[in-house]
Structure 1
Amino acid sequence: MRISELERNNKAAMTAHVIEVAVMLIFCLLQVMSKQRNIVLFIFDILLGAGPVIAEFIFWKRNHETAMIKHLVAVGFALYYSYTLFTCSNNLVFAFVIPMIVMVTIFNDSKYSIEINTGTVILSIITAVAGSRNGLFGYEGADDAILQVIIMILVAAFSIYSAKISHANSKQVIDDAVKAKNDAEELLKKVETLSAAMHDGIKDIYGDLEHLNEATKSTKDSMAQLSSGATETADAVQKQTQQTEEIQNKVAVVTQATGSIADSMKHTVEVLGQGREDIEILVSQVEQSVTNGADVADKLKELSGYVEKMHEIVDMISSIANQTSMLALNASIEAARAGEAGRGFAVVASQVTAMAGQTKNATVSITELISNVSASIQSVVDVIHQMLNGINQEKASASNASASFGSIEDNTHIIQTNVDSLVQGIKELKNANDQIVDSIQTISAISEEVSAHANQTADAEEKNATVIDNMDSKMHKLILYITQGNKKIK
């Protein structure tokens, strides 16, 4: 079972602490036995030495990775060491702390090491100063005290320096390990990606090989069919040659017919062009007739207006004649009353009456003539309107005929173009048919070669099929190997 670094350090520190306390208790017991130390001090030795060790084991039972063990080792041993240092009569007791100073460096804690070494140096200075002055703690002179202080300072300095170096080395090892771990993970990812790509690529190749195997089998079958069909192809080529010759004869007939059609279309185009010009002249003349008819209608309308005015004048003359007759009648009556004196006036009145009657008769005749003229003019106007309607219809018909001639001419041009294209196409068809004849002869020769090579290809495909089957089996094994490798990596 793998244990953590802290658990391993706690166990090592506890073991060292137990050994150190046991050695110091044995030393103190020997002093008690030699009467250099009394039993009461030894009892305190046991309590101060064993107490922290017991506490450490209690915390160890609860949790092997507790940080309290590190502090119990430092504080517990410091108390027991200080007590022993100040109560022993041998000045070499200070040396008991050196193994523990070395041992605590395993925690790789610079601050922890500095605190412990600072305490040991201070204790050494205190005991050295007090012992050199008063002769206590077993010091016989200042040299022993100075030597103790120098030794402890060197031990503290080297211990602190070693702790820092160890910490730096550990940090570097950890950083290198982390970097190596990251590099390994990156490499593992790349290997996994490459493996997946290889798996996919080989799988694709495996699939392609299957397709190739199927294609090889299909090619083999096709070659067999091709070999058996080569003879049929030769017969078909012979028949095709005969049919091509018949097509050639028919193409010649069609060429002659299309030439005649082309000549007829040219003549038709010329006739249509002349007809279109005649229709355009007719349309122009009809338009002129429409214009002239409209002018005549306008003049007749103007003449009808004059006739209406003549009616008004005749009515006025008739009214004047009626009034003149009435005046003449009144004058005759007055002349009759006047007797002999009015006889001359009566003669004049009778003459005026006669003239008024003649005028009235004349106005009646004129009225009849004007009515007849007006009726004739109206008849002429109606006839002209009918003529204009007919001319307009003729104009529309002529326009439609002109448009039809134009459309016919355009379509005739299109037909002529198509006929020209047909003639050109027939020429190309003749050339293509000639090429087909040459190609058929070439195909006949190639068919014989294909028939010969088909058998060779079938044999080669048989060998290829065997090779592909072997590759297929090896690829399948390689895919299984890569798949198992990917599972192990994951």
Structure 2
Amino acid sequence: MDNRLTDLSHPAVAAQSRNKTAIAGTCTMNTVLAAAYIAEVLKGVRSLPSYLIFLLLCLLPCVTSILAYTKQKDTSSVRYLCGGGFALLYAYVMFISSTDLTFCYVIVMLLILLVYADKKLVSLLCTYALVINILVLVFRAVTQGFTAAQITNAEIIIACIILSYIFVLMSVTKIAQINDANIKKADSDRSQSDDLLQLTLKVAGDMAGNIDQVSHSTSQLRDSIAGTQTAMEDLTSGTSETAAAIQVQQQQTENIDQQVQNVSSVTAELLSSTAETSANLTASKDVMKNLVQQVQVSEASSTRVADSMEELKEYADKMQSIVALISSVASQTSLLALNASIEAARAGEAGRGFAVVAEEISSLAGQTNGATGDINQLIEHISQSISSVTDSVTELFDSNRHQSEYITSAAGYFDLIEKNTASITSGMSELKQGVDAVSDSNSQIIQSIENVSALTQEVTASAGATLAGCRTNLQSVDDIALIMQQLQENANELQKNTQ
């Protein structure tokens, strides 16, 4: 038999079981009621037509729910067919019954429907029963009237229905909570079981894969140990050659150390010379700065001399203008003296004195013209000298300007030389540090070579022991291979059992 058909944890199977229980309870209750009411017919208390209606209402929920169950066993309509059919039967019984105890049928139905743990269905049924009982009580009060005992019974009926509803609702709620908790726990347990199963399968698969890898690695390790054994044998035979080569290397390293010491000494001397050159360059740079300042002063003086010579030239030009004016005045004076002499000659004896004055004026005019010519010659010589001096000053100014440019360029070159010297000094310092570091490293190499030589001797001594260890490891690897094979068989068996 398929276990899935009886597994109540499955929702469909659980729904089928609830429907089956509800149908069985409804059919049982209606069968008991039909048997009880047929006894009343036999006693003559109830008429046959009334009983036939009652029997039909008893059969209606049973037949409809069985048909629905037969069509679909897990359908949700069974609960409503049972509850709805009982509602019709309950209403009919409440209105035709002559006793107040008929209300208790709803309590039986509540117990039957409790299997669904459906709060909505329970609430509808209890509300319906309460309304029907209130209507019956009102109907009896209107038609028959109420005694004190009937009022007490009515209170008890209403209270009983309300309390039944409350406690059934509490039970349904608690059952639903318990069911939800159980479902969650079942889901959690199922998930954990699935996870554990998957983990077991994964671990088994990983174990099988790892065992394969370990087996492969063990095989490789065995080959490697065999190769190591061969290498140890070769190492034993080649250790003596290595020791001899190390001795040769030690001698060569000592020679290199001597050369490094020589390079360090030369580097120190070069560093000292470079420092002295840097100091001389600094002094030369100061001299060039002073020379540039002197050239600038000379340029300023030349500029002032050139300006003064221009002024002298202007003054000479003005003197020539003045001399030309004096010469013009002397010519006019001479002409006036000539006219005066002519007029004195015309005057005769009376103009003799005036003639003497005119002659003197003419003589002074002649002297003035002569002096003016001499002054003109002197001014021309002065102008020529000024022009020559101006040209010389201009040439000197140009020469000073070119000298200033050359000196400025030389100062720039000195700056570059100073920077390059500083770079050379820095490089020489780094070179000296590097040479010192090489010297230290070479010393360490010599020490290391000595250590290697000692270690080589130790390796030669332990090579035999390594060979013996390789043989032992080979035997251990064979044992491990057998164990790995057994583990692989166990892992495969575990995979088969968990699938």
* CA 472–410 in structure 1, closer or farther in 2 if over 3 Å, else same: farther
Matched, 1:426 2:435: yes
Provide the C-alpha distance between the structure 1 equivalents of 2:214 and 2:324, rounded to a whole number of angstroms.
119
In the alignment, structure 1 residue 22 sits paired with structure 2 residue 34: yes
Q: Within 2, Cα distance between the matches of 1:311 and 1:195?
A: 133
Aligned to 1:359: 368
SS in 1 for 2:247: helix
Provide the C-alpha distance between the structure 1 equivalents of 2:445 and 2:359, rounded to a whole number of angstroms. Answer: 124
**Secondary structure at the counterpart of residue 254 of structure 1:** helix
Q: 1:195 to 1:417 in 2, by over 3 A?
A: farther
Match of 1:11 among 23, 27, 31: 23
Letter in 1 for 2:252: Q
Q: 1:151 to 1:405 in 2, by over 3 A?
A: closer
How far off is 1:439 after superposition?
0.6
Could you tell me the TM-score, scaled by structure 1's length?
Answer: 0.69
Given that 2:274 and 2:421 are in contact with CA atoms closer than 8 Å, whether structure 1 keeps it comes out as yes
Q: By how many angstroms is 1:192 displaced?
A: 7.8
Question: Residue in 2 aligned with 1:89?
Answer: none
Report the CA distance between 1:269 and its aligned residue.
5.1
* 1:376 CA displacement: 1.1
The partner residue of 1:254 within 237, 256, 263 is 263
Q: CA deviation at 1:172?
A: 0.9
State the partner residue of 1:90.
none
- The structure-2 alpha-carbon separation of the partners of 1:318 and 1:68, relative to structure 1 and needing over 3 Å to count, comes to same
Give the corresponding residue for 1:168.
170
Q: State how far apart, in whole Å, the 2-side matches of 1:315 and 1:372 are.
A: 16
Aligned to 1:72: 85
1:43 to 29, 49, 60: 49
TM alignment of 1:156-195, pairs within 5 A: 161-162=163-164, 164-182=166-184, 185=187
Does the 8 Å contact 2:264/2:432 carry over to 1?
Answer: yes
Shift of 1:19: 0.8
Q: Is the 2:243–2:453 Cα contact (8 Å) retained in structure 1?
A: yes
State which of 122, 125, 128 in structure 2 corresponds to 1:112: 125
Residue type of the partner of 1:429? Answer: V
Q: TM-score, normalised by structure 2?
A: 0.68
What is the alpha-carbon distance in structure 2 between the residues aligned to residue 24 and residue 127 of structure 1?
Answer: 24
The corresponding residue for 2:10 is none
- 2:42 corresponds to which letter in structure 1? L
> For 1:155 and 1:393, how far apart are their aligned partners in 2?
136
Change (3 A) 1:299 1:96: closer
Shift of 1:182: 3.9
* Other-structure match for 2:316: 307
Which of 329, 334, 340 is 1:320 aligned to? Answer: 329
Output the CA distance in 1 between the equivalents of 2:132 and 2:271: 130
Q: Which moved more, 1:176-185 or 1:1-10?
A: 1-10
Please name the residue that 1:139 is paired with.
Answer: none
Q: How does 1:332-371 map to 2 (within 5 A)?
A: 332-371=341-380
1:241/1:437 contact within 8 Å kept: yes
Aligned equivalents of 1:126, 1:435: Cα separation in 2: 121
Superposed CA RMSD in Å reads: 5.5
Structure-2 change in CA distance of 1:401 and 1:97 (3 Å)? closer
1:16–1:103 Cα contact (<8 Å) kept: no
Shift in Å, 1:362: 2.4
Counterparts of 1:43 and 1:447, CA distance in 2: 123
- CA separation of 1:255 and 1:281: change in aligned 2, threshold 3 A: same
Question: 1:46 deviation in Å?
Answer: 1.4
Q: What is residue 137 of structure 1 aligned with on the other side?
A: none
Give the C-alpha shift of residue 469 in structure 1.
11
**Aligned twin of 2:386:** 377
Q: Distance in 1 between matches of 2:369 and 2:413?
A: 64
1:216/1:461 contact within 8 Å kept: no
Q: Is 2:441 the partner of 1:435?
A: no
Between Structure 1 and Structure 2, how many residues are aligned? 459
Give secondary structure in 2 for the equivalent of 1:67. Answer: helix
Q: Deviation string for 1:149-189 (max 9, x for gaps)?
A: 99998788667645543432231121122234345556777
Contact 1:262/1:416 (<8 A) preserved: yes
TM superposition shift of 1:442:
1.1
Distance 1:103-1:384 versus aligned 2 partners, 3 A rule = closer
- 2: CA distance between counterparts of 1:121 and 1:481? 70
Distance 1:125 1:13 in 2: 31
Shift of 1:316: 1.7
